Structure 1
Amino acid sequence: MEPSGSNISSSSNHTLNSTGGSGPWEITDKARLCRFLCYGSEGDVYTARDEGRVSMDNAEALRSMLQEGRGAEVVEEIKRFLQDGRAVRPGPSFFALAVCSQHTDTNTRQAAFKALKEVCRDPAHLFSFIQYKKELKEGMKCGIWGRGLRRAVSDWYNEQDPMSLAAAVTKCKRREGWSHQDLLRLAHTKPAKDAIALISKYVKKGWKEVQAAYAEKENPEEVVKVLSYLEVVEKVKHSCDETEVVNLIEEHKLEREQLRTDYLKSKQVWRALLKEMPLPSVLRILGKMTSNKILEPGSSETQTICDRIQSEAALKKAKIHPFSILLASENYKRGQGFQGKTKWDPDSSILKALDVAFYKSFMNVEPVGKRFVVAVDVSTSLSSVVPGMSISTAVAAAAITMIFARTEADTQVLVYSEGAVVPCSISADMTLADTTVELVKIPSGSTDCTLPITWATENGKSVDMFIILTNNPLWMFAVSPVESLKKHRQASGANSKLMMCGLTSIGHAIAETDDRGLLSICGFDLGALTVIRNVAQDLI
């Protein structure tokens, strides 16, 4: 057995598929673009938790499609990936839209600017898009603030609901070196409504100017509402009365971004913020809240948080994925943050609530409806930790296995080691602990990552997607995984794909291949599940 090849991707768009001809396994420019929009690279390797900034160096397919006059198609794909939740992270989509908005083709530019509001849903997105345009300026030899961008940015502000915009500009004032004041000034924005004009004046001139301009006037109802809201934000900003601040937070549903940082030392303020805080944000700060004694054992605040975490309605509304709950639980259980000196004693009732929420949140996983084989390599110890997480590879493998076994009707779970493949019966009523034990029953030894594919072929199983989970730093194959997959496709008639998940890997591919049905995942995170879903549905 030999280790797999390095991560080398051919730039050719005309490849042979597994049956010897050009067809469904061809890696086209469209496929490369979709990979880029999904995880920021055109290659066949997804690296978990990689937040690297994208550039034209890894967007050749984007450039190629624009040169072929397919700009409108690119813009539609950008919109689709963000709106349908196909993108692991949004940065590549903002970058691609920025490139389209600076292209020489008029139709492409117009399509990009028209899509701005749909793609950039909040100020942070808009600032990111503008910053990418600034970074592209030199390489694309073009300006930024032409008529098209000025109109698009002006429309972005003018088409917002005034109350939503008032909240947005007070929560996210500046990002990536840009502010609302910069954008409104450079876009020469002419407000389309009285309430937008009020917000524009507030952003550019400040609260005192607004007071002077509107205090003595008979204002329309919409202006009065915005004016009252901004007055509350200003009052909170300058108040020294903790009780007043708490009351204003509760009455007007203010968020922590709208408060002075010194208020965030107050337990009463945090208790007020927690009441309306989105559930994903609550899960991220459980440790901090326990450390600061805001969530204390047996307190009413702790009980309220536990009730929210376990609430099916709250979990459904926030669309919380079970893997997100697992990560929150494991992070909380470890009793200290990854950075800084924050430490806490995990509260047993919170841990119990997270455990209940984990199983309830499976209702949020929408089935793909494909035939899956999830195979876990137990040839090495599964006690190591997935990079960047406080979760062992054994627990990660068990959770991944459960996600598919509980949500996909046709899922076969296997464990393999030392030339042996053993089917596992992972039932819907098994706990995470039960599943973990089931996966580590057979002895360890050397391994071959193509064994599950060979097993399926020899046992007459038709499989749409093989998900191979391994803890081995080097991926071992007795025969090429491409050849193994080709044999299975020919024997079963299925359009089979292979996802090779190296739970502790730092960035290598399955093999040198131009087969679109093979991708590698290095490490693991929630984004990896999005990648698997996209591949299963032929979206990347």
Structure 2
Amino acid sequence: METSGSATSNHTLTSTGGSCLWDVSNKVKFCRFLCYGSEGDIYTAREEGCFSLENSGALVSMLEDGRGVEVVEEIKKFSRDGQAARLAPSIFALALCSQHEELNTRQAAFKALREVCRDPAHLFCFIQYKKELKRGMKCGMWGRALRNALSHWYNEQDALCLAAAVTKCKQREGWSHLDLLRLSHIKPSKDAIALISKYVTKGWKEVQLAYADKENSEEVVRVLSYLEVAEKVRHSCDETEVINLIEEHGLERDQLLTNHLKSKEVWRALLKEMPLHSLLNSLGKMTSNKVLAPGSSATLTVCERIQCDTVLKKAKIHPFSILLTLENYKRGHGYRGKTKWEPDISVLKAMDSAFYKSFLNVEPTGKRFVVAVDVSTSLSSLVPGTSISTAVAAAAITMIFARTEVHTQVLAYSEGAVFPCSISADMTLAETTVELVKIPSGSTDCTLPITWAMEEDKSVDMFIILTNNPLWGFAASPVETLKKHRQTTGANSKLVMCGLTSIGHAITDTPDRGVLNICGFDLGALNVICNFARDLI
């Protein structure tokens, strides 16, 4: 789709003496940290950061400036609205706020605990971060405020949901529900929560003795029945019984024993209600153990669910996520372990169909994009950590923006020339890939797309430049060229330099807030780009 030169920018240009102010403030650095775990201008795909006081300087500075309540509100926003490419930085930031000396900051952090740490895995992570911070901050940990916050976390849960949670995720990060309930001295707010607390701290036999002859409320009876089922499946060696319990009570994989998962029939029972994310992640395993045999009813069920419009919409599956899974399934073996499989053709077709349907799950930003693909070098190499070639990755990225953003221009560039590409909504991924790679290769010059926009008098909000080659022999800098574009067009233009094969080295280095580097590519990278376009980071 052509970029409209008359489209109005949603940015407000800030200027002093005719020049734009693109300073990177502490607030921006902090929001970048919340988004992807680094205060710098580099997002590295598939990298889990180690967080500490030393690498969260902007956060610390904001707290020292008395902006703790504002900090907590940002943490809540990033975790609640799905803006974070990774949730761990938000949990770390909340833990740091909860240890701060300023009372209002601590109170705000503990009040936000349930909203940020929505499941037990997040909660255990929060407690572990607090333990690690305790050493550096030289402060206490298990005070009344934390005990009260944990009590609220458990007491405010729906009782049946909490029963499921404590049987699915019992411990993480060296912490368990038993640890937290004992250390917080929880005072249950109602009988059903008291029952779950007793189950966790005393065990099922104690619960049976305590509740056998009592007149129990309807809610307590439901929770008792659920816990009885969870206990029964844990101790059952009867395949038929396990299957019946799964089907009648909606039990999930995490509630079963490893031995149960050796049974094909157990897997088939799990399939019926398995969340779509879990199903996609289990395709290789289920094909390997012949649960998904060619033409079987299980395979037909899986194919129907994968490409069901309602299921895709409910799960909010992103097309790039499906593509990653599809390419990994296609190659027939995982990244770790010895599991191998022969990809099923019907599953491949269903995933291909789901890829195109899931574009409806992408929320547009309303900005004006130029997505430019460097074809100066071979696009046959793989994006690190994936099974996707850089050619397919580039094609998928251009499709996502061309299909979801009204004002998008796709370019291929090489050897001093820029070639506008016609990427229409009805083109397949294969057709898009062919459209990009048919351009002759040559030398790399990442300034070409920006220069093209100036020559064509195009006002652009976001330049996304995809390249395999971090080095080029031209003296011009993409950042300096971007500044000229801002001055020429009056647009508040930003630049994302994406090195598809980079493993952590920035293609350009600048203190300009309107420039961001992406090394490699994954689903989180798209999240980062959209946040950047919306001025959130």
Normalising to structure 1: TM-score of the pair? Answer: 0.96
The correspondence of residues 28-43 of structure 1 with structure 2, limited to 5 A, is 28-43=25-40
**Residue number in structure 2 paired with 1:273:** 270
Between the aligned partners of 2:474 and 2:305, the Cα distance in structure 1 is 47
SS at match of 1:86: coil
Counterpart in the other structure of 1:85? 82
Specify the alignment match of 1:178 in structure 2: 175
Cα distance in 1 between the residues matched to 2:330 and 2:408: 31
Q: Structure 2 vs 1, CA of residues 24 and 171 (structure 1 numbering), >3 Å: closer, same or farther?
A: farther
Counterpart for residue 497 of structure 2: 500
- The residue aligned with 1:364 is 361
User: Is the 2:159–2:223 Cα contact (8 Å) retained in structure 1?
Assistant: yes
Does residue 76 of the first structure (1) align with residue 112 of the second (2)? no
Asked if the contact 1:461/1:492 (under 8 Å) is kept, the reply is yes
Please give the alpha-carbon distance, in whole angstroms, between the structure 2 residues aligned to 1:35 and 1:538.
11
Alpha-carbon shift at residue 56 of structure 1 (Å): 1.7
- Contact between 2:493 and 2:514, CA under 8 Å: does it hold in 1? yes
Q: Is the CA contact (8 Å cut-off) linking 2:34 and 2:75 kept in structure 1?
A: yes
Is 1:235–2:232 an aligned residue pair?
A: yes
State the match for 1:328 in structure 2: 325
CA contact (8 A) 2:497 2:508 kept: no
Paired with 1:375 and 1:19, the residues of 2 have a C-alpha distance of: 31
Report the counterpart of residue 426 of structure 2 in structure 1: 429
Q: Counterpart of 2:156?
A: 159
Q: Which runs of 5+ in 2 are unaligned?
A: 1-13
Q: 1:529 to 1:20 in 2, by over 3 A?
A: farther
Q: How many residues align?
A: 525
In structure 1, what residue type is equivalent to 2:378?
Answer: S
Structure 1 residue runs of 4 or more that deviate by more than 6 Å after TM superposition: 17-22
Match of 1:458 in 2: 455
Q: What do the CA deviations read for 1:429-463 (whole angstroms, capped 9, x no partner)?
A: 10000000000111111111011001101110100
The 1:189/1:36 distance shift into structure 2, 3 A limit, reads same
Paired with 2:28 and 2:395, the residues of 1 have a C-alpha distance of 31
* 1:21 CA drift (Å): 7.3
Q: How far apart are 1:23 and its partner, in Å?
A: 5.8
The answer to whether 1:62 aligns with 2:64 is: no
Question: Which deviates more from structure 2 when the two are superposed, residues 19-28 or residues 310-319?
Answer: 19-28
Q: Which has the higher mean CA deviation after the structures are superposed, 68-77 or 268-277?
A: 268-277
| In 1, Cα distance between equivalents of 2:505 and 2:17 | 26
Q: Does 2:164 correspond to 1:150?
A: no
Q: Which residue pairs with 1:388 in the alignment?
A: 385
1:156 alignment partner AA: W
Q: Determine the structure 2 residue equivalent to 1:254.
A: 251
Please tell me whether the aligned partners of residues 335 and 345 of structure 1 are also in contact (alpha carbons under 8 angstroms).
Answer: yes
Instruction: Give the conservation status (yes or no) of the 8 Å contact 1:448–1:478.
Output: no
Q: Distance in 1 between matches of 2:143 and 2:165?
A: 25
Contact 1:33–1:42 (CA under 8 A) maintained in structure 2: yes
* 1:214–1:514 Cα change, 3 Å: same
Distance in 2 (CA, whole Å) between partners of 1:527 and 1:328 is 15
How far is the alpha carbon of 1:27 from its aligned partner? 0.7
The residue that corresponds to 1:373 in the other structure is: 370
Deviation at 1:52?
2.5
Partners of 1:436 and 1:478 lie apart in 2 by: 30
Counterpart amino acid of residue 256 in structure 1: R
Deviations 1:501-530 (A, max 9, x none): 000012222433211000000000000000
Aligned identity (percent) is: 78
Q: Is 1:516 paired with 2:508? A: no
TM-aligned CA deviation for residue 169 of structure 1: 0.3
Quote the Cα distance in structure 1 between the aligned partners of 2:380 and 2:274.
35
Structure 1 position 346 matched with structure 2 position 343: yes
3-state secondary structure, aligned to 1:539: coil
Amino acid at match of 2:352: D
Q: Secondary structure at the match of 2:54?
A: helix
Return the alpha-carbon distance in structure 2 between the equivalents of residues 384 and 20 of structure 1. 47
Letter of the 1:266 partner, please give it: S
Inter-partner Cα distance in structure 2 for 1:226 and 1:314: 28
Structure 2 counterpart of 1:173, one-letter code: K
For residue 499 of structure 1, give the secondary structure of its aligned residue in structure 2.
Answer: strand
Amino acid in the other structure paired with 2:287: T
One-letter amino acid of the counterpart of residue 380, structure 1: T
Match of 1:205 in 2: 202
Cα 1:201/1:22, change in 2 over 3 Å:
farther
Aligned to 2:3: none
User: Does the C-alpha gap of structure 1 residues 296 and 78 become closer, same or farther in structure 2, counting only changes over 3 Å?
Assistant: same
Could you tell me how far 1:24 is from its partner in structure 2?
Answer: 4.8
Would you say the 8 A contact 2:97–2:106 is kept in 1?
Answer: yes
Q: 1:477 to 1:178 in 2, by over 3 A?
A: farther
Structure 2-normalised TM-score?
Answer: 0.96
Aligned position for 1:299: 296
Supply the AA of the counterpart residue of 1:94. Answer: I
Please name the residue that 1:264 is paired with.
Answer: 261
Instruction: Give me the whole-angstrom Cα distance separating, in 2, the residues matched to 1:212 and 1:39.
Output: 49
Matched with 1:130 is 127
Q: Distance in 2 between matches of 1:157 and 1:519?
A: 40
Alpha-carbon distance in 1 for matches of 2:351, 2:496: 29
Cα distance change, pair 155–443 in 1 and its aligned pair in 2 (3 A): same
1:370-402 CA distance string (max 9 Å, x none): 100000000000000000000000000000000
Instruction: Rate the CA distance shift 1:20–1:306 in 2: closer, same or farther, 3 A.
Output: farther
Structure 2 counterpart SS, 1:226: helix
Moved more, 398-407 or 470-479: 470-479
> What residue in structure 2 maps to residue 194 of structure 1?
191
Q: Decide whether aligned partners of structure 1 residues 325 and 18 sit closer, same or farther in structure 2, where only a CA change above 3 A counts.
A: farther
Give per-residue Cα distances to partners, 1:172-215, cap 9 Å, x unaligned: 00000000010011111111110000000000000000000001
- Cα displacement (A) at 1:20: 6.7
What displacement does 1:285 show? Answer: 1.0
Q: Give the Å deviation of 1:477.
A: 4.6
Show the counterpart of 1:3: none
Asked whether the equivalents of residues 415 and 422 of structure 1 are also in contact (C-alpha less than 8 Å), the reply is yes
